[in-house]
Amino acid sequence: EVTAWTRRRNDDEKKINWGFTSENANEKLSKHYV
């Protein structure tokens, strides 16, 4: 069942809308990395 769902999702070429850019992520997460 999971394989069928995954195959269907991939065939539909669904995209993930992360809602932020890599620049935003770097800015928000920079304090966690040295």
Range of the domain at 11: 2-31
Which residue from 32, 26, 11 is spatially nearest to 3, judged by alpha carbons? Answer: 11
pLDDT score at 2: 92
Q: What is the DSSP string of the chain?
A: -HHHHHHHHHHHT-----SS-HHHHHHHHGGG--
- Give the HSE-up count for residue 34: Cα atoms under 13 Å, Cβ half-sphere: 0
Residue 24 CA, chain-centre distance (Å), reads 14
pLDDT in tens, the chain (34 residues): 899 988 888 888 777 777 888 888 888 888 887 6
Q: Measured between alpha carbons, how far is 32 from 26 in angstroms, rounded to an integer? A: 10
pLDDT score at 34: 62
pLDDT score at 10: 81
Domain count, the chain: 1
